[in-house]
Amino acid sequence: MEKPKSPPLSMIARIDHFVLTVHNIDRTIDFYARGLGMRLETFGDNRRALTFGNQKINLHEAVAKPILPRAHAPKPGSSDFCLIASQPLTKVIIDLQQKGIAIELGPVDRTGATGKIRSIYLRDPDMNLVEISEYLS
């Protein structure tokens, strides 16, 4: 019997940052900093990003003169991503409710990158779908 082959090792270790194209950077900062506890970072030529853990979200405003290089057709509201909570999801839900941030769906069970997760879904000011999850033991 032939031994199953292991998948090849990826050249990629982790996500460092990704870019959100937004209508209004200040509204986006308020949502992610006040609402989700991310930290604001200003870098380069007065560019702004939101940091959490060892990752960050760079913010590009949808304007006539965009930052280059960029995605082929960046558009506010076209992102859908999952963030892993640093605390129990029940505490996240209570915190979001106290801040008046609506939960669109959840909690529901899903599959994450390394196993089973429980998730809630909400929308940021540009209507991007933000999934917040916790891994299940």
**Dihedral in degrees, nearest 10, Cα atoms 66, 55, 94, 123:** 30
pLDDT tens-place string over residues 79-110? 999 999 999 999 999 999 999 999 999 999 99
- Residue 1: the pLDDT is 65
Q: Residue 55: is its pLDDT beyond 80? A: yes
Six-digit token string for 104: 């669109």
- What's residue 57's pLDDT? 98
Summarize pLDDT for 5-22 with one digit per residue, the tens: 777 778 888 899 999 999
On whether the CB atoms of residues 87 and 136 are closer than 8 A, the answer is no
Average pLDDT over residues 47-66: 91
- Catalytic residue chosen out of the listed positions 2, 41, 104, 131: 131
Domain ranges of the chain: 17-135
Q: Please say whether the beta carbons of 99 and 35 come within 8 A.
A: yes
Among this protein's residues, is 41 annotated catalytic? no
For domain 17-135, give the fold.
2,3-Dihydroxybiphenyl 1,2-Dioxygenase; domain 1 (3.10.180)
